[in-house]
Amino acid sequence: MNLLNESQVKKAVENCNYVVHVASPVPLKQPSEEKDVIDPAFKGTLFVLRASQKNKVKRVALTSSYLAISHNEYKDHNFFDEKQWSDVKACEPYSKSKVLAEQAAWDFLDSLDEKDRFQLVVLNPGVILGPTLTGLPYTSGVFLKKIMHRSWPGVAKFALPIVDVRDCAQAHFLAITSPNIT
């Protein structure tokens, strides 16, 4: 499915009670234009939410990223809430796309009349690693493989919050099925 094709997104959401929106491009190399990363995240999220509202979906679980909240003045704190966002001026295109998409999701939900609202749950995982269903390479896995095979240029000093893809999938399942979410 193409996230920039609203009719494909609408068709994917038809007859759904719950929607898990996990797709957003993660480029291994910086794109020549940031819109190549921002548009699919931002517009794709809004297309998913519009389709969800139109189809009277009960709950949407949206995959954002720790990057949407980690580049800000609160970075020394251990607790983050919906009032703390990464500073988009300090973000690379992917991080910026996650901030803008998540903010747009909350703004969209706030713009709806109470009778048209659905529940929105946002997950902000770190780097997701683990086995794939398709066996095809994915950006986070390629990045890790390059580090392990010493083919990444140079040695960087960095720390990454990592989550296993199976744990992330379980968190998404709980996000759509838990009766305790309001």
Q: Which residues are catalytic?
A: 98
The C-alpha atoms of residue 88 and residue 86 are separated, in whole angstroms, by 6
Helix (H) or strand (E) holding 61, with range, is: strand 59-63
Coil, strand or helix at 121: strand
139 C-beta neighbours (distance < 10 Å), count: 14
CA nearest neighbour of 121 among 25, 56, 67, 49 = 49
28-31-32 Cα angle (round to 5): 150
The owner of tokens 């998913």 is: 48
